[in-house]
Structure 1
Amino acid sequence: MKPTPDSHLGTFLRARRAQLDPRECGLPETDSARRVTGLRREEVAQLAAISVDYYTRLEQGRVRASAPVLATLARALHLDDDQQQYLYELAGRTDNRPHRRRPAQRVRPAMRRLLDQLTQTPALVLGKRLDILAWNPAAIALYTDFAAVPADRRNYVNLLFSNPVVRELHLGWEHDARDAVAGLRMEAAADPVDPDLARLVGELSVQDADFRTWWAEHRVSSAGYGTKRYRHRLVGELTLDCDTWASPDGSGQRLMVLTAEPGSPSHDALRILTSWTAEVPGTDRPEGLTR
């Protein structure tokens, strides 16, 4: 039987209460031995000021939680912003907590000039949360037409998990996707209250079991280089070095460049791929504006 959203919510609630220390939640010490790790159902219900029967039915997926109940459960279970967003997504409710508005990300002029000068190699400008702010024609030829992706979905991690073309392009998809999740974890550490990051994590956690598992591992990475292997639908297999340079101004913007070893089959295939896009109009002036 296919799991329902309510059963996913129950699984999350059980997992979270198992992670909590009763003493850290302000519960008194007891002489009786605990049969379960973490909090009991009765203790969660007590902390959330709801009945044990109602909470039990929530975990069993037999009742749908209201927004006020979700708010009290979030406090009782000591959920951080990402976990709260995930809780609301699983329950099919809107998180109405106030969030401060963040300024839109704009591509730095120096990054724009560097990108324009890279004509023979795919390159992207990545912003906060690994949002894709700008790209060159070679990046379109390798990955996908970024301009056709809605601006609020134009995120490197999101495309890896939810875009079939980008996902199938990666020969080592699991390795690359796990690295991307670890990079996103670093972003969360830098700005843990970013509502856009919480929204992204919540959506991907609901949509993809692999993302949900890897996000829960709390693996982090700030690696600025590596090797990626692709199978392109037009030129076949490519092995490319991926290097990322951070802007020195503290904006969080990075230039990601993919190159091939000169004289290698990948280098020849990349030259063929970029030559096919050299004269395609309208592909070399992406608009880099996102939140």
Structure 2
Amino acid sequence: MASMTCFKSFKNGFVTILDNSTDNVEDGTSLAVRPSFIGEWALQYEPIGDTLHLPQWAIETKCKIIGSQPYSEVLLLQSSHHDKEGDQSTPFPILAHKSQDEKATWSNFFKAITEPSYCKGFWEWLEDILGRHEEMLQKKKIYDAIYASLFSYDRLASVMRYFCEFWSPSINTLHTSVGERSISLWDLRQLGGLPIRGLMYDEVVPSAKEMTGVYKDSTLYLPANCRYLFFAYHRLLAESKKGEVRVDAWVNFWFRGEISYRKSTKKTARNKTQRPAKNNNPTGVIGPVQLRTAE
């Protein structure tokens, strides 16, 4: 597989995955190259010390907010909604104000709330990963986050609607009776029990040069398995009839073991605000690693 994989940059800011070096750009999968917090050639960089408050993540500024003092000091989290200068010279309404002024309304069906969907092999794959690579995942401080994804969780549509109504996407804060508040990393730790001080995970698409370049000692700029991941995505996208790579296709590509958790055939008419008597989640016990066969 690796010998046939080819990465080219036909256009600045994009990397194209090809089956062969002679293929045209139309035959490949093109992905936009994203800038990295830690720069190019990631393996050359030491871990960043203060990952909780990177300058690229937030800026301190003054904003004029409806229903508060003329100006408030806020920590502005960077997003596509913000002006480059970071200042909001005019008041901005939140969704609750638009609802009160009848400029925005909710439909009868809140599409952001969906029922959990079954993905064949997903739980089995996660258990295999957790058992096979526990030491590495613990070292990278992401074991607990992956373990948490084994289960489904209760949620209330009304609470999420209120959250959306009083959340300001312009400054990433929640408007409450005691003033502005924002969800901090510490809040996430208290709510989910997940670690907040781990090695930084920079989720970007690397350039073609990073994917194929080598140092003087013949080692790659990026791990070889990174090339396999991108080629797997390219292969699955080419096989897809809908032009997208779905989670079930990704799981089926990487996990070929026995299926232990079947889709439940039971249906319930319970009130969505009531906790179910039981669910089909895994037990959470990670068993011994199963030997892989040639098949």
Question: In which range does the TM-score fall when normalised by the shorter chain?
Answer: under 0.3
As a proportion of its length, which structure holds more helix? 1
TM value normalised by structure 1: 0.22
TM value normalised by structure 2: 0.22
